[in-house]
Structure 1
């Protein structure tokens, strides 16, 4: 671990991030152009004291989970994130293969979308990041463990995951999930993460087995879906998907399809986040 270099890098990257980039309002009395230490601590979910010790070269070696949180808080690029990991004495996350962390460029786009619901998803359907509007609309899907982190696994094993969609749309969504997984399996042939997920779905879901046998293939892109929200009622949303060149990650953006959906989405923003069932988009 290169403590002094790590400390210098963190201080300089903190100074380079404008508060507006991370959704923090700049007050008239603000003296620093970049982020304050307490703001980095809040964004990364750590104590201010730990950020101070890191920037002074007095900390123990940070974990990969903490480095990931700091990289997102500081809006590091992929190269900067790899450098951060090396300074801390860890191997950087892989640049390709199974997606574990959201790409820095997609994170920045997510920030820019503001009140428009959006999320970053891996090619296997693991939600890597969401903005506040997305959480209000469909619940928080990040941080799930095991097979539950995959949208398709929850869809075929948890009835409440399908309950968000109208009965008329459920068959179409199920076909879309399976056809998209077929496309991933073709691109990542013999990848144990993909084959393992398929095998476990085949073992637990007769519905999945039937649909998998149909061998439909299609990458999910544009779509329209209705969210049955327990607090404001149904919202019909248009879904646009931006895919990375390697198809490993996608940015899913949801916009209201009509005035009624727009008004209900506005109401959700006013109500804020409360406990309600997590949905599958």
Structure 2
């Protein structure tokens, strides 16, 4: 099987312990190319440890893992060339402008024409107007979108997003969700770790639940829902959700919905 034919990520029997604490206890998972795969679990379930092993930052005690067709233990350099990792907190330089952050990463990765690469990514993530501003002036959502844009310099085929919306407000979370959807639409494979159930439900093609170091279920959202008894159909008047209220008031683009729709008096 060639690299392009192999799954983007393939893990078998992954184990990791810290002294007496067994963090991963035989994890198996397969991630298809171009898909969004959510690894869901509470704090301490082992999500970040799994990502660190897959990104060659940590060695497993047992088991095998391949990313983009390369073994993380024996072909670590090839794995690192194939991936990008966005951690729980945005790793942008706040002294630099958004564009300067992107140009810096492009130069560090020896990418040709770093200025054009930066401009293209600013446009792709709707940050062109803010590109000349220092990153310290960005909102949480803008900073996270810039962080993801920096991760895409060099077009890595696989990206790891570890708790990408931790600490963000509702509007910023929606902005990041849209950015993640855009990644997959362009063919990037996304492994997303999260503790937010709605985030996995909104984004993922497949969802695995990691609990006490083991994958206890793995499937599509529809498959996971079938694990529960059939729903009892009753008439219930639908009430707007908090998200409906929020988006109606502020608008999907973050502007005030009432002000945006208001007319002008002669």
Q: With structure 1 as the length reference, what TM-score do the two structures score?
A: 0.23
Q: With structure 2 as the length reference, what TM-score do the two structures score?
A: 0.24
Q: Which has the higher contact order (CA 8 A, sep 6+)?
A: 2
Structure 1 or 2: more strand by fraction: 2
Structure 1 or 2: more helix by fraction: 1
